[in-house]
Amino acid sequence: MDAAEAVTLLMSPAGRVDPYPVYELLRAHGPVVEVGPSFFVVTGHAEIDAFLRDPRTRVFDRPLRDQFTPGWQDSAAMVSLSRSVLRTDPPDHTRMRRLVAGAFTPRRIAALREVVTAQAGELADAMARRLRAGEPVDFVDQFAYPLPVGVICALLGVPAADRSLFRRWAGDLTGVLEPEISAEELAVADRGAAELGAYLFDLVAARHRAPADDLTTALVRAHDADGDRLTAEELLANLMVLLVAGFETTTNLLGNGLVTLLAHPRAAAALRSRAELAPAYVEELLRHDSPVQLTTRLTVAPVPYGGSTLPAGSWLLLLLGAGNRDPRTHPEPARFDPWRAQIQPLSFGGGPHYCLGAALARMEAQVAFPLLLRSFPELAVAGTPRRRARLTLRGYATLPVTLCDQSPPVDAGTPAGAATPRTP
Ligand code: HEM
C-alpha cells in the first residue's frame, strides 16, 4: 500500500480504532515519508524527538495555517487554542508557559499526591460497592473520568458540583485536535468551546470578586497585574487548555492502561504485590498504548534529517504512538514489557511544548493502578469495551468491568522472578 493510501486508512473509522497496523504500513516507507506536497508523516522515534525540539519547527504560523486550514479564524475552538500555550511559539509561548508552569512544580505535585490517593480510594470503594451488588460498572464513568477531573478541578478551583459539565464540553472541543475534521464535527467543537468559554468567563469573574488559593486566581492576578503578561483572551484560552488537557488524556491513560494490565495477568500480579514498580509500569503503559497518538508541526526554514531535508513550509504529522513502537528504540515494540532495558515514551511530546502536566498524570496513574489491582484482584473486562472514534486522543468511550471468580489466564509477558523494572 502506498503511503497516501495508508494515511487515508489511518483517518478512517477502522484506522482510528486500531492505528497500530497502519503505522507499520507507513513505517515500511521509512521513518519520514512525503505523502503529498509539503506534507510529511513521521513514524521514527529519533526523528519525531528531533523535530519536536528543532527551533525551525513551529506549532503555529499564520500564513501556513491559512494555507492548510482556510477559514480557521471562523472557528471558536481553533481561535481559542491558537491563543494558548499549546499553539503559540516563542516569545508568547515562553511568557505564558512561565506563568502556568508555577502550578506544576515537583513540590506542588508531591503535595497533590495525598489528594489523589484519597480521591482514588473513595472512587475504588464506590466501585467495590456496585460490583459486589452485581450492578454494572463502567470503569470510565466510575473511575477513569472522575479521578483526573477531580484533581484538575481542585487545582483550578472549579466547584465540585460543576465537574459533570465538562465531559461533554471537553469531548466536543477536542475534536479540533484531530488531523482531519468534518464541518459537522467542527461545529460541535465550536459549540463546546463556546460553552466551556462561557463557564470559565464566569469563573474568572467570580475569582475577581473573591480570590481563592487556586491556579485560576493566580492567572487572574497575572492578568490584572499587567495585561501585557497575560491578556484576557489568553487567560481564558489557557484555562480551557488546562482543564481539558488535565483530564481527557489522563482518563485515556487509566482506561488504556487497565485493559493492558488485565490482558497481562502475571505482570498485573507483580504490580499488585509491589507498588514500587508503578513508575516503570506507567512508562511502559504510556509507550505501549499512548493516550495521545499524534501532534503536528510546521517548518519555517529547511530542516535537515538523515541525509535529506524537509523544505520550509512543510506540514509534519508526528505519530507519537508510532514512534513509541519504533523497533530501533524499543525492540519487539508491540509487547507490553515493563522490564525493558529502556522505556522512552514520546507520549508527553518533547522540546519546548513538553507536557506541563506530565508529572501530575504520571503520579495519578502510579497511585491508581496498584490501588485498583489490590482492591480488585478478580477484576475483568465485561462485554466489549468501545473505543472513541478519535485518533489524536486515544481512549475508551465505555469500558464495562466485572468481578470474575475464575483464575485469570497465564500470560507470557513477565518472567517469574524477573528483576525490578527500571524507573525512568
Ligand atoms: C497521560 C496524560 C497526558 C498526556 C499523554 C499528555 C500529552 C501531552 C502532549 C503530547 C503534549 C504536547 C503537545 C505538542 O507538543 O503539540 C502536551 C502538552 C500539554 N499538556 Fe499534557 N498530557 C497529559 C496530561 C496532562 C495534564 C494532567 C495536564 C494538566 C494538568 C496537561 C497539560 C498540558 C499542557 C498545558 C500542555 C501544553 C504545553 C505547551 O504547549 O507548552 N497534560 N500534553
Name the residue of 49, 242, 249, 256 to mutate for ligand 1: max ligand atoms within 8 A of Cβ: 249
**SS3 (DSSP) at 127:** helix
Contact (CB, 8 A) for 363 and 246: no
Contact (CB, 8 A) for 414 and 394: no
Q: How far apart are CA 317 and CA 57, in angstroms?
A: 12
Indicate if ligand 1 lies below 6 Å from the C-beta of 353.
Answer: yes
Q: For residue 179, report the distance from its CA to the centre of ligand 1, in Å.
A: 17
Which residue ranges make up each domain of the chain? Answer: 3-327+345-403
Closest ligand 1 atom number to CA of residue 295: 16
β-bridge partners, 57 = 299
Contact (CB, 8 A) for 252 and 396: yes
Q: For residue 19, report the distance from its CA to the centre of ligand 1, in Å.
A: 21
State the DSSP string of 151-203. Answer: HHHHHHT--GGGGGGHHHHHHHHGGGGSSS--HHHHHHHHHHHHHHHHHHHHH
DSSP 288: H
pLDDT at 164: 84
Indicate if ligand 1 lies below 6 Å from the C-beta of 292.
Answer: yes
Nearest Cα neighbor of 204 from 195, 193, 215 is 215
**SS3 (DSSP) at 143:** helix
Indicate if ligand 1 lies below 6 Å from the C-beta of 349.
Answer: yes
Indicate if ligand 1 lies below 6 Å from the C-beta of 246.
Answer: yes
Contact (CB, 8 A) for 344 and 351: no
**SS3 (DSSP) at 5:** helix
Q: How far apart are CA 390 and CA 383, in angstroms?
A: 21
Closest ligand 1 atom number to CA of residue 290: 5
pLDDT at 227: 64
b/e per residue 32-47 (b: at least 16 CB within 10 A): bbbbeebbbbbbbbeb
**SS3 (DSSP) at 123:** helix
pLDDT at 127: 97
Q: Which residue is closest in CA terms to ligand 1's atom 30?
A: 246
DSSP 356: T
Q: How far apart are CA 169 and CA 190, in angstroms?
A: 10
* Contacts with 359 (C-beta within 8 Å, 6 or more apart), sequence order: 104, 106, 109
Place of cell 526554514: 301
- What are the Cα distances from residue 100, in Å, to 80, 370, 386? 17, 30, 35
Q: Which amino acid is at 306?
A: G
Q: How far apart are CA 230 and CA 224, in angstroms?
A: 8
Q: Which residue is closest in CA terms to ligand 1's atom 16?
A: 295
Q: How far apart are CA 399 and CA 140, in angstroms?
A: 6
Q: Which residue is closest in CA terms to ligand 1's atom 41?
A: 353
Q: How far apart are CA 110 and CA 411, in angstroms?
A: 34
Grid coordinates standing for 258?
Answer: 487497565
Q: Which residue is closest in CA terms to ligand 1's atom 37?
A: 86
Q: For residue 363, report the distance from its CA to the centre of ligand 1, in Å.
A: 14
Q: For residue 422, report the distance from its CA to the centre of ligand 1, in Å.
A: 24
Q: What is the pLDDT along the chain (424 residues), one digit of tens a residue?
A: 999 999 999 999 999 999 999 999 999 999 999 999 999 999 999 999 999 999 999 998 888 778 878 888 899 999 999 999 999 999 999 999 998 888 788 888 888 999 999 999 999 999 999 999 999 999 999 999 999 999 999 899 998 888 888 888 998 999 999 988 889 999 999 999 999 999 999 999 999 999 998 899 988 988 877 766 889 999 999 999 999 998 889 999 999 999 999 999 999 999 999 999 999 999 999 999 999 999 999 999 999 999 899 999 999 999 999 999 999 999 999 999 999 999 999 999 999 999 999 999 999 999 999 999 999 999 999 988 999 989 999 999 999 999 986 444 444 344 333 344 443 3
- What are the Cα distances from residue 20, in Å, to 102, 115, 269, 316, 366? 36, 36, 27, 19, 25
Q: For residue 282, report the distance from its CA to the centre of ligand 1, in Å.
A: 16
Q: How far apart are CA 49 and CA 349, in angstroms?
A: 8
Grid coordinates standing for 78?
Answer: 481553533
What's the CATH architecture for 3-327+345-403?
Orthogonal Bundle (1.10)
Q: How far apart are CA 268 and CA 387, in angstroms?
A: 22
Indicate if ligand 1 lies below 6 Å from the C-beta of 253.
Answer: yes
